[in-house]
Structures are given as structure tokens and as C-alpha cells.
Structure 1
């Protein structure tokens, strides 16, 4: 029993000396593995999707906010055709770009889902964050379905909701 306190203090000291873990939203999946290696066909149709997400939401007043973890899912609903995503840009509440997730065209295999996670401690987006995704598809195939799930828990209370991307009329 007399050794328990010193062991606990050493354990706490070791924990406090550890480097903080990088945000998963800043260091996402290795997009290079998904990079398209050859030139794409000129016949592909281009489009853009707007997706609202929320890093934080107001609770009782504008001074009381809850931090949320957001999972952004890019679904390819095609059974045989790939979807190509040229760019994913994350904007904050003020419309300022925070980060670009990849700067090379990536592919999403048929029926596959690719995700981006915005950690709950990543508050850069604020209460009105959003994404714009630029993508390409083969003619007569389905455009990507892009959704976000935001979630958080405080004690016994849980908050969760979903947003769905909207295709923009002009890229």
C-alpha cells in the first residue's frame, strides 16, 4: 500500500510527458494510396457537392457550446464504376479554407465508402463549417453520396445528427 502513491505519481508524470497525439482530421488516411496514377478520360462528367458540418453547436446560449466529432462519408453508390474526387476543401464558419484534404485526384471503388474524421477537439471549423468536394463520374452513373454524422456525449446526454451534401449547380 505504501508503494501505491509513488507508483501512481510516476504513472501520472509519464502520462504528462507524452507528446500530444495529432488530430486525426489533420492527419487523415494516406490519400496517396488512393491517388489516380493515369490520366482520366475526357468524357467524365464533373460536379461539386456542398456539405455542412458542425465542429461545435450552441447549447443554451451563444456562450455555451458543445464540441462535436464529425464523420464525413463519401459513398460510391455505383456497382461497377469508380468515382473520382479531385479535391476536398474544409471551410470554417467565416468561409475561410482551413485545409485541403488531398491535392491529387483520388478514386473510390464501386460500393466503397471513404471517410474523413474531424476530431471533437478540432474546433477550427466552428459552428458553421462546411466542405466542398469536386468530383468526376462516368456518364450515366450515379454521383457520390456525401454525408456527415456529428456526435458528442456529455455525462448522460448525447447529441447526434446527420447532414447530407447538396450538388452545386456550378463548380
Structure 2
């Protein structure tokens, strides 16, 4: 290979390596950890209120779609209870998806979480991934959200 052609190939290799390191770029799957709660303790006698949990995944990028490759519900011992996807799910620009854990589902224990793995065809704005919990007992109700955090 001549000097100029060799340099061109080296530059292309360097560009490819740099793009692979950009979050959201094809070939570089990213994961997000989302803590959720199946119940909360209330009152003086440590009574528990069961909660319905919704995982909300939002593509905040207005230009590019995102592909969700895995949405796992993990119990308090770190074991996968369920994988919500049987095939990759494409979120269009500004699109969203939701995944539900029913109130009576206690398979996650007291401290479950979700792991969301995703990919994009190019650099994108960060995903917004939240756990939304809601529960009612009689005339009382509670609702709150948690935020996902990128995994290294």
C-alpha cells in the first residue's frame, strides 16, 4: 500500500473506533439501570402497600430512532425474573414504550430493578427512562417516580 493510501486507511480505522465509543452509536449497545419498588412500608406497624410499576422509556432525540434490544425485570437478588422483549423494539424519534409490573406481582421482592439495553444508528440525545409507581388502599394513594442511570 502506498503512503497516502495507508494513511487514508489508518484515518478510516481511527474514525470507526472513535464513532464506536460514542454513546448510542451502532455497534455500541448501552444499558440503563432503573430502580423500582413493588411495595412501600407505611405506618407504625410496618404495613406494606403493594404498588403497580410502569417502566417508561422515551427517545428524546428528534432525528434518530432507538432500538431497545433488552428490557429485563430483575429481582432484589440480581436475578432476571422476566425479559419483556422477544425481539428488538424500534422507538421512533420522540417515541416511547411502557412496560408494566402488576400490583399483585411480588416476584421482584422489595428492591427490584429494570435493565434496559439499547442502541442507535448514530449519536443521539440521552434516553429518558423512569420507573413510575402507584398504589392505593381505601381512600389513600401514593405515586412517585425513579430515574434510570447509565451503566458503565
Asked if Structure 1 and Structure 2 have the same fold, meaning a TM-score greater than 0.5 normalized by the shorter chain, the answer is yes
Aligned to 2:70: 87
Structure 2 stretches of 5 or more lacking a match?
1-19
* 48 and 61 in structure 1: CA distance in 2 versus 1, 3 angstrom threshold: farther
Query: How big is the shift at 1:61?
Result: 6.0
Give the total of aligned pairs.
Answer: 128
Measure the CA separation in 2 of the matches of 1:143 and 1:46.
13
Measure the CA separation in 2 of the matches of 1:62 and 1:132.
33
Q: Deviations over 1:144-170 (max 9, x none)?
A: 21101101111221111100100011x
Aligned to 1:46: 29
Question: Alpha carbon RMSD of aligned pairs, Å?
Answer: 1.7
Measure the CA separation in 2 of the matches of 1:108 and 1:139.
14
* 90 and 78 in structure 1: CA distance in 2 versus 1, 3 angstrom threshold: same
> Pairwise mapping of residues 97-136 of structure 1 onto structure 2 (< 5 A)?
97-136=80-119
Aligned to 2:148: 165
Does the 8 Å contact 2:38/2:112 carry over to 1?
A: yes
Matched, 1:58 2:41: yes
Measure the CA separation in 2 of the matches of 1:49 and 1:133.
5
Does the 8 Å contact 2:64/2:122 carry over to 1?
A: no
Measure the CA separation in 1 of the matches of 2:108 and 2:46.
17
More strand by share: 2
Structure 1 stretches of 5 or more lacking a match?
1-41
Query: How big is the shift at 1:141?
Result: 1.0
Q: Deviations over 1:73-108 (max 9, x none)?
A: 110111121001111111111212101111422211
4+ runs deviating over 4 angstroms? none
Measure the CA separation in 1 of the matches of 2:147 and 2:44.
26
Under a length normalisation based on structure 1, what TM-score does the superposition of the two structures give?
A: 0.69
Matched, 1:74 2:61: no
Measure the CA separation in 2 of the matches of 1:82 and 1:62.
48
Q: Deviations over 1:25-69 (max 9, x none)?
A: xxxxxxxxxxxxxxxxx8513210000111112223685211001
